[in-house]
Amino acid sequence: MEHAPTINRYLLVDQFEGWNNAHGSGQAWAVKGWWGSDTHRLWLRAEGQRENSRSEGSIDLLYGQATGPWWEAVAGIRHEHGPQPRSRAAFGLQGLSPYRLETRLNALVGGTPRLALEAEVEYSLLLSNRLILQPSLHATALLRDDTVHGQGRGLASVEGGLRLRYEISRRFAPYLGVVHERQFGRSADLARDDGQAPQHTRWVAGLRFWF
């Protein structure tokens, strides 16, 4: 009898999408992958978007240690690219919470502000063997203003998404969806001062695939 290899790898392009609306066109991506065993893993995550010839995003390189059958503690570094690039230490917890919610909690330490918090939740609702509805929610909070990056203290922003995908195979699925972003408090004031709307909604079309 053959045993499964102790070292495995996985790469998921969770979002590779584009949009074209009254406010302009753009593209966004979200990729995550890992290499290692069931208890020790090296994680790579990359997220970002490009709109109106302006690109920004982040790349995380993290070490993960299992803390139980469903949870993993991670620590490493995040590099943010864009008009004002920077690197910060990243610490977090990720896993499967009750009701099968994929959950990710992050603390970013260093730079200005000294501490930022992130929370992300996703859920996959199986409508049929191939049709899957995926709601998601991502929130960011800061302890102090970050005027260079247009974010204010407190709850800075929330992004909610709803994507409906059709799995041609388990590894490849096109999807349609809607994304709503909203800034709050000081972040909304900074956006208005910069001539931008503090909230907007866009329809997206994209692909999800893994290998």
The predicted pLDDT at position 3 comes to 55
SS3 152: coil
For residues 3 and 36, the model is more confident at 36
Q: For residue 95, what pLDDT band results from cuts at 50, 70 and 90? A: very high
pLDDT (average), residues 39-56? 93
Q: Tell me the CB-side half-sphere exposure of residue 24, using CA atoms within 13 A.
A: 8
Does 1 have pLDDT greater than 70?
no
* Phi, psi angle pair for 85, to nearest 5°: -70, 150
How much is the mean pLDDT over the chain?
93
CA-nearest of 63, 75, 65, 123 to 97 is: 123
pTM score of the predicted model: 0.91
Alpha-carbon separation of residue 146 from 5, 41, 88, 116, 150 (angstroms): 46, 32, 14, 10, 6
Place of tokens 């199986």: 126
pLDDT (average), residues 95-116? 92
Take residue 7 and report the two structure tokens written for it. 């070292």
Does 2 have pLDDT greater than 80?
no
Does 66 have pLDDT greater than 60?
yes
Q: For residue 6, what pLDDT band results from cuts at 50, 70 and 90? A: confident
Give me the amino acid identity at 21.
N
The predicted pLDDT at position 5 comes to 66
Report the C-alpha gap between 64 and 125 in whole angstroms. 27
Tens digit of each residue's pLDDT (9 = 90 or more) over 152-211: 999 999 999 999 999 999 999 999 999 999 999 999 998 898 888 899 999 999 999 998
Does 148 have pLDDT greater than 90?
no
Q: For residue 147, what pLDDT band results from cuts at 50, 70 and 90? A: confident
Does 100 have pLDDT greater than 80?
yes
Q: For residue 34, what pLDDT band results from cuts at 50, 70 and 90? A: very high
